[in-house]
Structure 1
Amino acid sequence: MITEPMAGRAPKAARRRGRAREGSPGGRLPAVDVLRALAILGMVWMHFVPTGWLEPTPPGHDWPGVLEWLNGFLDTRARSVFFLLAGVSVALMTGGARPFAGTALRRARGRIAVRAGALLLLGLGLEQVSGTPNIITAYTGWLLFLLPWTRMRARLLFGAAGVFAVAAPVFQIARANHGRGWGFLPEVGPGAPELPQGLAVLAHPGDWLAVFQSYVFNVDTFYALPLLLAGLAIGRLDLRERAVRVRMALTGAGIVAGGWLASWLVLGPLGLGAAIDRFQAELMAPPPMPPMPALPADGALPDVPPELPELPPMPKVPWAELWAMSKPGPGIAEYSALQILWLVGVCLALLGALLLLTERGPWQRVLWPAAAMGSMAMTWYFVQDVITSRFLGEGPGGFGHAPQSLVPYALFAVAALVGSVLWRRLFRRGPLEALVHRATTAAVPHR
């Protein structure tokens, strides 16, 4: 009497576990979506850049201290969490703690490659509308970069992330100091070729190599590489095991505390901070104007205009930047190996804590709006990019957008949370997420 019902339930349970291992929506981890929502809210903050509480602060006036601190602290950090979560997503799509092999792995890789192509078209379409590059397009290269690493276990991936965490900032500093003559880097500044933007890229194959260089060798890509691998490593942990969640939270907290302490020791008592202070002072100081060439004695303009003198070179980036944390520290995130390690610790601690919280029913209900928003992260990123580029007005001198108060950001955050809850009660995925999913499963069916 008992064995027959149990036998009937076993295949269903096995199918559910199989779907969860393949990273299907049925196997989603709400904690990952909550952390993704926090990353999106932080990135949207950096795009809105609130300068006042109820009214924007006029140019030339001091911002409220809290808002100024938040703008400095969230800069690079919010998108860094987003970079790392891209790796977590790829890990979950390729088996999580039990990586796929054989046909299952080839199928998963095929879906990821198709997903990358769909994101490229979406990103170019968004760039066509907004007129500025966006992170969705960058996802194309990141997903393809991670494909060869999907066979590896967590330990090897953490080791590779550690190597890249040092190599990437070293390359960034060397490039800033000596990279003007490196031919494989994209040209920037005056005289650089103007590349097509948006969907126009597809109609100019002659510019594809230059566009490829601008995507692959830009500052964000090198900064993202160790975070992508660290995310892939985290996704290879058994995130459904309570002991793993506890270790993640404790290890992450230890890395965060140790990172701050190491940076303070190196920059303070050990004295390397002085080099960074000199660099920052030279960077912020206005460059001396070179003398203009003298005109002929008769005052007549020459037929051929004289060559303008070269501007003084940028100050050299000190190698002490490798140990410097950004806001509230003096460092620049892209140059700091310690900052990358610290951010991995932050993500470990946050994700571990959120995984533990979402084990409990009350916290699941409290965090459900954020989880719903995180599951629609691509849709909300698309929406906010259109809003900030088209509806916030042009900033001083034609750069960026007009100064904003906290009100537009708060309205967007509330609308995104409420809209996500309402949408997810009716539909399984967000609008853009569903579009990408349909394209992916049509090209590479699950079976």
Structure 2
Amino acid sequence: MAVDVLRALAVFGMVWMHFVPTGWLEPTPRGHDWPGVLEWMNGFLDTRARSVFFLLAGVSVALMTGGARPFAGTALRRAHGRIAVRAGVLLLLGLGLEQVSGKPNIITAYTGWLLFLLPWTRVRARLLFVAAGVFAVAAPVFQIARANRGQDWGFLPPVGPGAPELPQGLAVLVHPGDWLAVFQSYVFNTDTCYALPLLLAGLAIGRLDLRERAVRVRMAVTGAGITVGGWLASWLLLGPLGLGTAIDRFQEALMAPPPLPPMPPLPADGSLPELPPVPPELPPMPKVPWAELWAMSKPGPGIAEYSVLQVVWMVGVSLALLGGLLLLTEKRAWQRVLWPLAAMGGMAMTWYFVQDVISSRFLGHDPGGFGHAPQSFVPYALFAVAALVLSVLWRRFFRRGPLEALVHRVTTASVPRREG
């Protein structure tokens, strides 16, 4: 129940990320200041809601393979088969959603992430935490190196104006010649690099005995300590130790307008001068400073995908929240209070699909910006209330959400509980 409640909180954050409220009752026109709370929330939730989803994916794989008592032998092979089938179903669902919404989504990436976790299900929790720590350092280092020097790395997919246009949606299935490029785009994209340490940390957490009260208390206390320690470490490194200066210069260079070619002098006869040609290419991006490794995003100055501390901090937050929710749900009163959220969290996949279609098809497109047109807080509030109410009503009669039931039926039919 606690896992589903945490998943519901992540759903609320994810929908906020996609709806991007810019005003309370009316959207804020582009170029005007947003209400401070809404602007802060948009920055704060930008990567953090999906971070919780990444970590919970690892927890789910751990629970599907035995939890604190990992499966072995035939039971583990059967669990691996079900996870592999689940990954294939998610690929088809993600491509289908892309076909409907007209934009990429994160569901297709989960196909590779689930398969990535399969060999790690044989590893003990302590070693999984160590592996998560290694990836938490290696992934941001790779991200910064790629941003600064990765244009010539042959294993990376081509990007930019000269890159080939890959098929989208279900068309991917009928273009086998593009499968390698599509695979590269999923494996080496920013989301995958950022997700890997969180997936492994979630797998490690799922290997703990989550039914033991002592484990729950240690999770809550340790998570709170990591959360506070992460913020303090980032503040100390960027402030008193001066690493924030390099990040400030980097952000100023990002925001600076590109230099224009010099204007020719005015002709003596008073005619208009011939304008210089526009440069055919944009100036090179400024180098990402290595200080980004220690800078967390909003309200800090960093970029989440470049930060080691951001990943560590999100593991701490997730540990604290999950441990606290596990402690709360020991009480029947709190079980009743939190049950509506658990009902919604149990339908997270369904609600992801619904909000993705709504945000891409019904919120309008902003040709001058990124994504859809600016929204007020009203669409988000209506969606959140409707999703919560409908989840409660649905779960009164059905054990799983619509898409969750579909995935479950396909996986159990493909890999029965008993062989033969």
TM-score, normalised via structure 1 length:
0.89
Q: Give, in whole Å, the separation in 1 of the partners of 2:356 and 2:204.
A: 30
Tell me what 2:402 maps to.
431
Tell me what 1:352 maps to.
323
Tell me what 1:225 maps to.
196
Q: Give, in whole Å, the separation in 2 of the partners of 1:261 and 1:38.
A: 25
Please give the secondary structure, in 2, of the residue aligned with 1:385.
helix
Q: Give, in whole Å, the separation in 1 of the partners of 2:50 and 2:289.
A: 25
Equivalent residue in structure 1 for 2:361, among 379, 390, 396: 390
CA contact (8 A) 1:124 1:137 kept: yes
Q: Please state if 1:250 is matched with 2:221.
A: yes
Q: Give, in whole Å, the separation in 2 of the partners of 1:369 and 1:223.
A: 31
Q: Give, in whole Å, the separation in 2 of the partners of 1:90 and 1:358.
A: 22
Unaligned 5+ segments in structure 2 are 265-271
Runs of 4+ in structure 1 off by over 4 angstroms are: 290-293, 306-309
Q: CA deviation at 1:291?
A: 6.1
Equivalent residue in structure 2 for 1:94, among 65, 84, 87: 65
Q: CA deviation at 1:310?
A: 3.6
**In the TM superposition, what whole-angstrom CA distance separates every residue of 1:19-68 from its partner, at most 9, and x where no partner exists?**
xxxxxxxxxxx000000011111011000000001111111110000000
Tell me what 2:386 maps to.
415
**In the TM superposition, what whole-angstrom CA distance separates every residue of 1:259-311 from its partner, at most 9, and x where no partner exists?**
01111111111111101110011111112134699xxxxx9x9xxxx995443
Please give the secondary structure, in 2, of the residue aligned with 1:127.
helix
Tell me what 2:123 maps to.
152
CA contact (8 A) 1:292 1:309 kept: no
Tell me what 2:268 maps to.
none
Q: Give, in whole Å, the separation in 2 of the partners of 1:179 and 1:307.
A: 27
Please give the secondary structure, in 2, of the residue aligned with 1:397.
coil
Which AA in structure 2 matches 1:83? F
- Structure 1 stretch displaced more, 264-273 or 110-119: 264-273
Matched positions, count: 409
Unaligned 5+ segments in structure 1 are 1-29, 294-298
Q: Give, in whole Å, the separation in 2 of the partners of 1:210 and 1:286.
A: 33
Q: Please state if 1:66 is matched with 2:37.
A: yes
- Structure 1 stretch displaced more, 164-173 or 278-287: 278-287
Q: CA deviation at 1:399?
A: 4.0
Equivalent residue in structure 1 for 2:341, among 370, 388, 396: 370
Q: CA deviation at 1:204?
A: 0.5
**In the TM superposition, what whole-angstrom CA distance separates every residue of 1:330-373 from its partner, at most 9, and x where no partner exists?**
10000000110010000000000000001111111111111000
Tell me what 2:259 maps to.
288
1:10-409 pair list within 5 angstroms: 30-290=1-261, 308-397=279-368, 399-409=370-380
Q: Give, in whole Å, the separation in 2 of the partners of 1:185 and 1:443.
A: 35
Please give the secondary structure, in 1, of the residue aligned with 2:22.
strand
Q: Give, in whole Å, the separation in 1 of the partners of 2:383 and 2:351.
A: 9
**In the TM superposition, what whole-angstrom CA distance separates every residue of 1:412-444 from its partner, at most 9, and x where no partner exists?**
001111111100111110000000001100110
Q: Give, in whole Å, the separation in 2 of the partners of 1:397 and 1:232.
A: 41
In 2 relative to 1, CA 290–378 (structure 1 residues): closer, same or farther, beyond 3 Å?
A: farther
Please give the secondary structure, in 2, of the residue aligned with 1:144.
helix
In 2 relative to 1, CA 292–426 (structure 1 residues): closer, same or farther, beyond 3 Å?
A: farther
Q: Give, in whole Å, the separation in 1 of the partners of 2:111 and 2:257.
A: 38
Identity between Structure 1 and Structure 2 (%): 88
Which AA in structure 1 matches 2:204? A
